[in-house]
Amino acid sequence: MFRISDPVLRNVADKVLAGERLSAEDGLYLDEKADLQTLGQLANVVRERRNGNWAYYNTNIHLNPTNVCVYRCRFCAFRADLKDAKAYTFTDEMLRERVLEGRASGATEIHVVGGLHHQKKFEWYVNVVRVIHETCPEIHIKAWTPVEISWFSFISKLSIRDVLEKMVDAGLGSMPGGGAEIFDPEVRKQICEHKADSDVWFDVHRTAHQLGLRSNATMLYGHIEKAEHRIDHLLKLRELQDETGGFQTFIPLAFHPENTELSHIEKPDGLFDLRMIALSRLMLDNFDHIKAYWIMLGQQTAQLALSYGADDIDGTVVHELIYHDAGAKTPEGMKVDQIHHLIREAGREPMERDTLYRRVVRNGRDWTVAGPVCATSVR
Ligand code: SF4
C-alpha cells in the first residue's frame, strides 16, 4: 500500500502501521519533510482504525454573549472596546431568544464563548449559563475556555475548581477547546501576551476533567509559529490526555488574518490545512476524534480532510461570529441535508452525534441519544 523510499519516513510509517506511539523527532520529520500524500494516507489508516467510515456532525448553535474584551490578542478580529460601534452585550431576553431559536432548529448543543467584559461581575457570566439552562434544559451547554475561566477566577477571587463547580451548578455540560493558541511562551508573548498562559490552560482542563467534565482542545496554526512549536503543543496535549482521558476531540484552527493586527501574514492554504489535520491525527494517538471545522477550512477542504485524518466536521453552526469577523467566507450555518450531502460526497457516512459523542436518534426537532458513537468514545 505504501511505497516509501525515504528510510526515515518508512520507519515512521512502520510505527504508525504497528500502532506505536510517535516521538517528538518523528513529529518534526512529518511536519517538515513528509510529502502530503504519505502523511494523509497514514493519518487515514489511524482515522479508519478508530472511527471506520463514519463522519460525525452535530446540530448546534453558537452564542457569543459579548465581544467586549479586556485583552487585545493580535490575531483576534472579534473583540471590541466598550465604546466601539460594534460592541455588544446580550441581555437575558436576547439569551432566551437565541436558545429558543436553537431549540426550534433542533439543536442539541449551544457553544458559548466570548470576550472578557471588564464591567461584568462573575455572577453575570454564571447567569448566562443559568438563563440558557433554564430556558431549555435539554440543550447541552458547552461553554467557556480556560482564558475565561481564569478571568472568572481573577474577578471572583474563587479557585478554578470553585468557578467550575458554580458553572456546573448553573448548567454547564462541557468545555470547548479554545484559548490554547500555541503553548510555547515566546510565541504566546508575541500573539496574546496578557492572557492565560499554558500552565493555566492545562490547570483548567485538568480540574475540569477531575470534576467529570469532558472538553476539547485546539491549536491555532499558520501565523508566526514553527514546526517545533506545533509538535511541542501536540505532545503537551497528549501528555494531559494520558493523565486524565478527558479530551474528546482536537481541532486544528487555521489563522485567519483579515481585520487582525497580523493581517500582513498570509492565510494558510488548503494543503497546509490538510497537513495539520493529518499531523494531529498521527501525533494525538490517545484522542478519539480530530475535527475539520468547516467554518474555518471551507467546505471543500473539510471534505478532503475526512480522508486526511479527520472524522468530524462540527455542526450546523448557526450564528458563528469569531471566524467571520476575521474574514471567513463560508456561510454562517449549514442545514443538516447540506452536511449529509457534503459528507457523502466525500465518500463517508454521516452520523449525528451529541456533544458527548453519543449517537443522536432524531425525529424532526425532537431527539434522543443512543450509546457512544465508537467503542472508545465514552470512558
Ligand atoms: S481572542 Fe478572546 S481573549 Fe483574545 S482578544 Fe479576542 S475575545 Fe479577547
pLDDT tens for 47-100 read 999 999 999 999 999 999 999 999 998 889 899 999 999 999 999 999 999 999
Rounded CA separation 230/244 (Å): 22
Query: Any residues with CB less than 8 A from the CB of 25 and at least 6 apart, and which?
Result: none
Whether 299 is covered by a domain: the verdict is: yes
Q: How far is the CA of 122 from the centre of ligand 1 (A)?
A: 17
| pLDDT at residue 195, rounded to an integer | 87
Instruction: Tell which wins on pLDDT, 255 or 142.
Output: 142
Whether 152 is covered by a domain: the verdict is: yes
Of 64, 73, 189, which is best to mutate to test ligand 1, by the most ligand atoms within 8 angstroms of its C-beta?
73
Hey, what's the cell of 96?
Answer: 432566551
Closest by alpha carbon to 290, among 311, 275, 319?
Answer: 311
Hey, what's the cell of 365?
Answer: 426537532
Question: What CATH number does residue 237 fall under?
Answer: 3.20.20.70
Whether 377 is covered by a domain: the verdict is: no
Strands 140-143, 172-175: pairing is parallel
Helix or strand or coil: residue 173? strand
Cβ burial of 218 (10 Å; 0-12, 13-18, 19+) is buried
State whether the beta carbon of 117 lies less than 6 angstroms from ligand 1: no
Query: Any residues with CB less than 8 A from the CB of 11 and at least 6 apart, and which?
Result: none
Asked if residue 236 lies in contact with residue 202, where contact means CB atoms within 8 angstroms, the answer is yes
| pLDDT at residue 63, rounded to an integer | 95
Q: What are phi and psi of 313, to 5 degrees?
A: -120, 25
pLDDT digits (tens, 9 = 90+) for 278-299: 999 999 999 999 999 888 898 9
Q: How far is the CA of 74 from the centre of ligand 1 (A)?
A: 9
Burial 349-373 (b: 16+ CB within 10 A, else e): ebbbbbbbbbbbeeeeeebebeebb
pLDDT digits (tens, 9 = 90+) for 189-227: 999 888 889 999 999 999 999 999 999 999 999 999 999
User: Ligand 1 atom closest to Cα of 72?
Assistant: 5
Q: How far is the CA of 251 from the centre of ligand 1 (A)?
A: 18
Helix 198-210 / helix 146-156 crossing angle, nearest 10 deg: 90
pLDDT digits (tens, 9 = 90+) for 325-358: 766 677 667 788 889 999 999 999 999 999 999 9
pLDDT digits (tens, 9 = 90+) for 219-249: 999 999 999 999 999 999 999 999 999 999 9
What is the number of domains present in the chain?
1
Rounded CA separation 23/72 (Å): 35
User: Which residue has the CA at smallest separation from atom 3 of ligand 1?
Assistant: 71
Helix or strand or coil: residue 144? coil
Strands 366-372, 312-315: pairing is unpaired
State whether the beta carbon of 195 lies less than 6 angstroms from ligand 1: yes
Asked if residue 46 lies in contact with residue 307, where contact means CB atoms within 8 angstroms, the answer is no
Domain range for 235 is 7-372
Whether 379 is covered by a domain: the verdict is: no
Instruction: Tell me: pLDDT of 121 over 50.
Output: yes
Asked if residue 152 lies in contact with residue 122, where contact means CB atoms within 8 angstroms, the answer is yes
Q: What is the DSSP letter of 268?
A: P
Asked if residue 31 lies in contact with residue 11, where contact means CB atoms within 8 angstroms, the answer is no
State whether the beta carbon of 76 lies less than 6 angstroms from ligand 1: yes
Instruction: Tell me: pLDDT of 378 over 50.
Output: no
Whether 151 is covered by a domain: the verdict is: yes
Q: How far is the CA of 77 from the centre of ligand 1 (A)?
A: 8
| pLDDT at residue 319, rounded to an integer | 63
pTM of the model: 0.93
Whether 378 is covered by a domain: the verdict is: no
Asked if residue 178 lies in contact with residue 64, where contact means CB atoms within 8 angstroms, the answer is no
Closest by alpha carbon to 353, among 151, 109, 163, 40?
Answer: 109
Hey, what's the cell of 326?
Answer: 476575521
Query: Any residues with CB less than 8 A from the CB of 84 and at least 6 apart, and which?
Result: none
Whether 2 is covered by a domain: the verdict is: no
Query: Any residues with CB less than 8 A from the CB of 365 and at least 6 apart, and which?
Result: 103, 104, 105, 106
What percent of the chain has pLDDT above 70?
Answer: 94
- At 323, the pLDDT band (50, 70, 90 cuts) reads low
| pLDDT at residue 318, rounded to an integer | 67
Instruction: Tell me: pLDDT of 379 over 50.
Output: no
Whether 27 is covered by a domain: the verdict is: yes
| pLDDT at residue 220, rounded to an integer | 95
pLDDT digits (tens, 9 = 90+) for 262-282: 888 888 899 999 999 999 999
Query: Any residues with CB less than 8 A from the CB of 56 and at least 6 apart, and which?
Result: 289, 311, 312, 313, 350, 351, 352, 353, 357, 373
Q: Between vectors from CA 343 to CA 338 and to CA 346, what angle results, nearest 5°?
A: 125
